[in-house]
């Protein structure tokens, strides 16, 4: 894993002869040093400057990689089938590979197969390849968007980086004036709606993201040309195959491909651990990893508030599968003290409270290992969210004439907030394309209008989801919801917090569920293999995955609901952290964007109860801290002091 940086100049070499540029480039690269603290290297030619920070999990040099005298590569990520690709390229294609690194394999694969090489890479990655012969830059992100890649353009050229803060530092070289103060009001409105900024936007108008599953080409002084190479298509029924056709055969295939995915991710020169929440996904990964490392260590975060921790259950699970177990308990004071630093690492606000314990447990894990496995992606691929059962519960509404459904929806608006059945009526009156836009729904339109200074009623979640629904027309409702989540919730929230919180602690995160081979099986599951059959599966999710993992995970884990890393912000905002939250609002200079008086009223109403505004308040607080860091430059995050581990590792 690494942090990469590249600048392709619009007018060539004069820029790179400037000592001021050298200082700016080095400073921009240093911004992401946490992504690769084991070495830094830079390289340039008359048109391009490239840099990389390296996290050493294999014996490769900490500098841009050169291949065949033609290509120079900077890579952030891991190619898990590197060994197989290397053998094919050397033995069948006659490639000469100068180094043992994955970047050399990527360059050789690109030389042999062009953009089609991306379909052969089994891993998580973002990379840049400079072709010195053709004078063209090629870059790409992995299919699901685990690794980030930001881009900014200006009169001076185009820059790419693993972290946005690096590009903000390169603004003078790009010819951009004060880009940090130019906040995109549309991106802010979507953030308050979703709790994350949807790709390809960022809150800074000058910086965008290369989207997941996308590559680009760029020549000096030209326009960037983007092309999507991976479309995660669901085709229900294909996974069962035409041979066995049995459910048992399907479940065997799932277990087999997942076991292989874990095995490929255990190949490293560095020690490997696993995150463990005690639920199905993380337990499966830890149990399968234990097959390759009997001394595997699992890590869990929790809180001291009843109902908001899974540490006891995780400890029980760790004991049953036979792995060592480390627990990190997080206090309210630690959370508020760390939040500015966490937001700085994020680059853009993500208001998922779970990223706070994730940061702490990644920090704890880094004391023991350099690589960690985790279970992200299982819910999106195998149908794990309870909301995916909504089409079943709303099925009776499908038989109601359209006019009457609309009448029921309008009637729901007159019912008191919190009344049982109000939201069921409202959602039942809407077609799937209007009611579902992902797992996070923070502010309603009427609530946005009351807090957002530049609220635009013409903006809607359908701006983001309508093209995705059009692409998935004709699929079953659950597959369409999964498709929406792959392009919104997964890459906007889940993978952002996973990558940023692990790399903030110089920890490489590997995600066995987000593997092309695993997706190939999961994408063909019929609805009954995701949610079970209606008459026998009340409340069931990930049915096929649960069946596939029988004998791999303990029986008590197979059917229990996972809390993940829940955070008691609802309670804390009424008590322990209320004074801190009030101070964040009071000190903010973002009143031109957000009505701070309205935020304070919301905070007080939440404290006094009974209305629960905690998720909306948290979303606003994270934005205000972000604004204080990146726009006002009033808040300067400082590193947290180390907290010693509570004791030695279990035997």
Q: Catalogue the active-site residues.
A: 2
Sheet holding 272-275, edge to edge: 324-329, 297-302, 272-275, 371-373, 508-510
- The whole-angstrom distance between residue 202's C-alpha and the CA centroid of its chain comes to 14
Q: If residue 293 lies in a helix (H) or strand (E), which one and from where to where? A: none
With beta carbons less than 8 A apart as the criterion, state whether 72 and 137 touch: no
Q: Report the distance separating Cα 380 and Cα 494, nearest Å.
A: 10
Cα–Cα distances in angstroms (integers) from residue 164 to residues 2, 436, 492, in the given order: 15, 30, 15
Residue 510, C-beta contacts closer than 8 angstroms, at least 6 positions apart = 78, 80, 124, 265, 371, 372, 373, 374
Q: Report the distance separating Cα 212 and Cα 315, nearest Å.
A: 35
Cα–Cα distances in angstroms (integers) from residue 440 to residues 66, 275, 414, 433, 546, in the given order: 43, 23, 24, 16, 25
Provide the b/e sequence for 220-241 (b: ≥16 CB within 10 Å).
beeebeeeeebebebebeebbe
Residue 253, C-beta contacts closer than 8 angstroms, at least 6 positions apart = 239, 241, 521
Beta strand pairing call for 371-373 and 508-510: parallel
Phi and psi of 464, rounded to 5°?
Answer: -90, -35
Phi and psi of 71, rounded to 5°?
Answer: -110, 145
Cα–Cα distances in angstroms (integers) from residue 499 to residues 34, 90, 142, 232, 297, in the given order: 12, 32, 13, 21, 20
Cα–Cα distances in angstroms (integers) from residue 563 to residues 220, 280, 385, 481, in the given order: 49, 11, 12, 21
Q: Report the distance separating Cα 372 and Cα 610, nearest Å.
A: 41
Sheet holding 214-218, edge to edge: 65-67, 71-79, 123-131, 136-141, 214-218, 225-228
**DSSP character for 204?**
B
Residue 138 backbone class (left: φ over 0; alpha: ψ -120 to 50; beta: rest): beta
Please tell me the total number of residues recorded for the chain in this structure: 651
Task: Report the number of secondary-structure helices (H) and strands (E) in the chain.
Answer: 30, 17
Q: Report the distance separating Cα 327 and Cα 325, nearest Å.
A: 7
262 closest CA partner among 513, 519, 617: 513
Cα–Cα distances in angstroms (integers) from residue 602 to residues 96, 192, 447, 582, 607, in the given order: 64, 15, 11, 11, 9
Of the chain, the end-to-end C-alpha distance in Å amounts to: 30
Cα–Cα distances in angstroms (integers) from residue 123 to residues 145, 169, 580, in the given order: 11, 30, 41
What SS3 state is found at 337? helix
């Amino acid at each position: 894993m690494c942090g990469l940086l590249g600048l392709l100049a619009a007018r060539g070499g004069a820029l790179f002869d400037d000592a001021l540029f050298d200082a700016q480039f080095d400073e921009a690269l240093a911004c992401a040093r946490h992504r690769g603290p084991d070495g830094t290297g830079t390289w340039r030619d008359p048109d391009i400057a490239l840099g990389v920070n390296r996290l050493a999990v294999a014996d490769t040099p900490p500098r841009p990689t050169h291949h065949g005298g033609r290509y120079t590569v900077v890579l952030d990520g891991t190619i898990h089938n590197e060994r197989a690709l290397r053998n094919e390229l050397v033995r069948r294609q006659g490639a000469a590979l100068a180094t043992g690194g994955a970047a050399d394999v990527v360059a050789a694969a690109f030389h042999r197969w062009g953009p089609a090489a991306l379909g052969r890479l089994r891993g998580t990655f973002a990379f840049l390849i400079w072709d010195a012969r053709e004078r063209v830059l090629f870059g790409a992100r992995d299919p699901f968007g685990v690794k980030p890649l930001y881009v900014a353009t200006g009169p001076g050229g185009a820059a790419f980086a693993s972290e946005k803060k690096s590009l903000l530092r390169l603004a003078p070289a790009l010819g951009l004036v004060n880009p940090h103060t130019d906040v995109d009001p549309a991106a802010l409105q979507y953030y308050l709606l979703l709790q994350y900024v949807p790709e390809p936007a960022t809150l800074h108008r000058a910086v965008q993201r290369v989207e997941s599953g996308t590559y680009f080409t760029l020549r000096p002084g030209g326009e960037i040309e983007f092309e999507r190479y991976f479309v995660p298509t669901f085709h229900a029924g294909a996974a069962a195959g035409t041979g066995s056709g049995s459910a048992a055969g399907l479940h065997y295939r799932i277990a087999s491909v997942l076991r292989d995915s874990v095995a490929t991710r255990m190949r490293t020169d560095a020690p490997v651990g696993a995150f463990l929440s005690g639920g199905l996904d993380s337990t499966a990964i830890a149990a399968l990893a234990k097959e390759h490392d009997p001394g595997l260590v699992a890590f869990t975060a929790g809180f001291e508030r009843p109902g908001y921790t899974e540490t006891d259950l995780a400890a029980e699970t760790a004991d049953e599968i036979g792995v060592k177990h480390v627990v990190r308990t997080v206090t309210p004071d630690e959370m508020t003290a760390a939040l500015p630093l966490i937001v700085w690492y994020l680059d853009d606000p993500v208001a998922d409270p779970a990223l706070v314990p994730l940061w702490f447990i990644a920090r704890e894990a880094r004391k023991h290992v350099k690589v960690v496995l985790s279970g992200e992606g299982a819910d999106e691929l195998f149908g794990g969210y309870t909301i995916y059962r909504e089409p079943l519960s709303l099925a009776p509404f499908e038989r109601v004439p359209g006019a009457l459904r609309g009448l029921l929806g309008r009637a729901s608006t007159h019912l008191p907030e919190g009344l049982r059945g109000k939201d069921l009526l409202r959602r039942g009156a809407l077609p799937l394309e209007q009611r579902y836009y992902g797992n996070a729904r923070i502010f309603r339109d009427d609530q946005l209008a009351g807090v957002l200074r530049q609220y635009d009623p013409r903006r809607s979640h359908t701006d983001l989801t309508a093209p995705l629904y059009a692409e998935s027309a004709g699929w079953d409702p659950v597959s369409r919801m999964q498709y929406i989540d792959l392009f919104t919730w997964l890459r906007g929230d889940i993978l952002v917090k996973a990558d940023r919180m692990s790399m903030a602690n110089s920890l490489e995160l590997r995600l066995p569920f987000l593997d092309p081979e695993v997706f190939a099986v999961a994408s063909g599951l019929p609805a009954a293999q995701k949610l079970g059959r209606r008459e026998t599966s009340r409340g069931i999710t990930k049915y096929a995955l649960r069946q596939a993992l029988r004998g791999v995970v303990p029986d008590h884990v197979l059917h229990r609901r996972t809390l993940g890393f829940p955070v008691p912000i609802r309670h804390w905002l009424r008590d322990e952290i209320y004074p801190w939250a009030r101070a964040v609002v009071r000190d903010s200079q973002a009143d031109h964007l957000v009505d701070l008086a309205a935020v304070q009223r919301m905070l007080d109403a939440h404290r006094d109860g009974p209305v629960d505004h905690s998720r909306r308040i948290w979303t606003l607080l994270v934005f205000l801290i972000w604004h204080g860091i990146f726009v006002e430059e009033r808040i300067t995050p400082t590193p947290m002091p180390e907290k010693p581990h509570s004791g030695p590792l279990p035997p």
